[in-house]
Amino acid sequence: MASCQHYEQGFFNAYADMVEQDPDLIIHLGDYIYEASWGPQVRRQASVEAESLTDYRRIHAQYKTDPHLQAAHAYAPWLFIWDDHEVVNDYANLNDENYMPLEQFRARRAAAYKAFYEHMPVRLRSKPHGENMRMHDYFYYGDLMTMALTDARQYRDDQACQTPDDGGAQVVNCPELRDMTRSMFGKAQERWLMPSFLRSGATWEVLAQPTLFSRLFQKDRNGVPGSWSDGWDGYPATRDMIINAAARRRPKNFISIGGDMHSWWQADLKEDYNNPDSQTVGTEFVTTSVTAHSYAYNRFMRMLPDNPHIKFFDDRKRGYSLVDVTPQTWTVQMKEMTSIYDPTARATTRKTFVVENGKAGAVDA
């Protein structure tokens, strides 16, 4: 599992280690490219801020010049979902965080989707139609694993509690958050997902979505409890729908995988996050970034006592996650790179977790 690879911020040597592990499958969980230049730079990106089709094509082509990324694409089949930076930070449907005029943003999103389709190994059914491109799909690996590949950007409602100066992510608390009609996936994708989700009978039923799925209790800078408006806490109705389905349908094993956070997370998926003793209905793993940096270690560590369902967090290293799936166990090795500034640097294992078939929650191995 890989996510969040900024070309400027490091070399993609995580993929060299992936290839050495002889993977059957690589899944990228979003932010395959970054549309904008920011952060520490070991090499320069072709476009400072992509808006046109030429800009997005140039960035995709440049990313593909990385030899380790080339090797990984040549070695194994890939699956994809996307997040925001394939288009622009914190976008929601046709809404831009900086309130770009609708027609201008419509053209920008269409350009980004077209360039993505041209450069990525996705199915023919994903061919864009105007400003739209289908990414949600199901992947079946016999009776071992079913994976729902979801799109949490293209169809979502706009973030709640926006201000005139900020149309993107914030820690917020307002009545709009509790509007049960607001959706992360959009109603049409929900109607596609929910009739068959967690009903395949496979040993491992996986939700592939771009970020931390679990509730993260936190406070704003004034100490007031709030929710991160761009993540799942900003769309609680969609998460509740999925959690309630897991509690009701009782799959053999429910696993959620995500990226976006530039950090590793391991958590229990709870039937009721307000009650730590409520049923654990599944297990979550979030993988760190391939190169994109994080500076939030102390802030997130202060949150953990209020989130007992979160068993592990670390954002201090870049890397990927290696998953070994068998009928008996789901084993995740969190593989951290010793350096992303040296293209020859190798990986070590930061942490290993195991989920046993039929037992929700992971154990530290």
* pLDDT higher than threshold 90 for residue 222: no
Q: Give tens-digit pLDDT for 247-290.
A: 999 999 999 999 999 999 999 999 999 999 999 999 999 999 99
- Side-chain half-sphere CA neighbours of 345 within 13 A: 19
Q: Report how far residue 296's alpha carbon sits from residue 354's, in angstroms, rounded to the nearest whole number.
A: 26
In sequence order, the β-bridge partners of residue 284 are 256, 267
Closest to 107 (Cα-Cα) out of 53, 156, 167, 168: 53
Q: Measured in whole angstroms, how far is the alpha carbon of residue 252 from the centre of its chain?
A: 23
At 135-160, the pLDDT tens digits run: 999 999 999 999 999 999 999 999 99
C-alpha–C-alpha distance, residues 1 and 29, integer Å = 7
Q: 0.95 exceeded by the pTM?
A: yes
How far is the C-alpha of 330 from the C-alpha of 51, rounded, in Å? Answer: 41
Q: How many helices (H) and strands (E) does the chain have?
A: 7, 16
pLDDT in tens, 132-141: 999 999 999 9
User: So what's the pLDDT on residue 254?
Assistant: 98
Contact 135, 80 (CB under 8 A): yes
Q: Tell me which residue of 90, 109, 113 sits closest to 101, measured CA to CA.
A: 109
% of the chain surpassing 70 pLDDT: 100
130 pLDDT above the threshold of 90: no
**pLDDT tens sequence across 23-47:** 999 999 999 999 999 988 999 998 8
Mean pLDDT of the chain: 97
Radius of gyration of the chain (CA): 19
Q: Which domains, ranges and CATH numbers included, belong to the chain?
A: 7-364 (3.60.21.70)
- Return the pLDDT at 302: 95
What Å distances lie between residue 99 and 72, 74, 111, 166, 196, CA to CA? 37, 40, 18, 8, 37
